Amino acid sequence: MKKLTIVLIALCLVSLPMFAADDAAALFQSKCAACHGKTGAADTPMAKMKKIPNFASDEVQGKTDAQLTTIISDGPEGVKGHDYKAKGLTDDQIKGLVGFIRTLKK
């Protein structure tokens, strides 16, 4: 019984990152894609109108994880309605979004 418990815990820990990545992708689609595009390419009418950056760009990918976390949490300076920490996203969800954005690089 003890071995089975250890094996089950190990399987859960190994599987956890896959679920987190899926959750981050789904969260991106529900919270970010309307403006940033489904692939983060800033190919939406809103992105073109407001000059939203492409997540694959050197500009975005060159930012540190801490900078991206702040932008997602509090919004870029001068941008209203982008403060997702105040809107209820957890630190783990924001960290997941930062990780997902990193997968969008060129």
Residues near 92 by Cβ (< 8 Å), separated by ≥ 6? 20
55, 36 contact by CB (below 8 A):
yes
Tell me which of 96 and 10 has the higher pLDDT.
96
Q: Rounded mean pLDDT of 30-52? A: 92
Which superfamily does 20-102 belong to? Answer: Cytochrome c-like domain (1.10.760.10)
Residues near 101 by Cβ (< 8 Å), separated by ≥ 6? 28, 40, 55, 60, 68
Domain ranges of the chain: 20-102
Tokens standing for residue 21 = 């990545």
Q: Rounded mean pLDDT of 92-106? A: 94
Alpha-carbon span 21 to 13, nearest angstrom: 14
pLDDT tens track for 76-86: 887 888 899 99
Q: What's the pTM value of the predicted model, to 2 decimals?
A: 0.77
